[in-house]
């Protein structure tokens, strides 16, 4: 199967509650350094990890179980086909 590579940038909004939940999740992951969560995250600071977790949850909700609620947080998407 042939795959394509694209670069996509999402502009999202999030609540303080979502931020705190993601921050708690990242704190918990620090107790488990061998988990798959850490793959590709070397060198990222805590705020980057938290925001990445928020984006992951919003986009996962959009594609999986809660598209209406997740869609409220996605403000804009920019893509380009040559990454």
pLDDT tens-place string over residues 20-66? 999 999 999 999 999 998 998 989 999 999 999 999 988 887 666 66
Classify burial at 53, counting beta carbons within 10 Å of its beta carbon; exposed 0-12, middle 13-18, buried 19 or more.
buried
Q: CA-to-CA distance for 63 and 48, rounded, in angstroms?
A: 22
Asked whether residue 83 carries a pLDDT value surpassing 60, the answer given is no
Q: What is the pTM of this model?
A: 0.76
Distance CA(58)–CA(53), nearest Å, equals 9
Question: What pLDDT is attached to residue 63?
Answer: 63
Spell out the residues 6+ positions from residue 9 whose beta carbon is closer than 8 angstroms to its own: 77, 78, 79
The span from the CA of 7 to the CA of 14, in Å, is 22
């Amino acid at each position: 199967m042939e795959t394509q590579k694209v670069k996509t940038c999402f502009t999202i909004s999030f609540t303080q509650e979502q931020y705190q939940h993601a921050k708690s999740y990242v704190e918990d992951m620090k107790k488990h350094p061998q988990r798959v969560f850490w793959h590709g995250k070397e060198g990222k600071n805590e705020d980057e990890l938290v925001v990445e977790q928020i984006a992951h949850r919003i986009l996962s909700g959009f594609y999986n179980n809660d598209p209406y609620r997740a869609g409220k947080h996605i403000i804009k998407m920019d893509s380009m086909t040559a990454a």
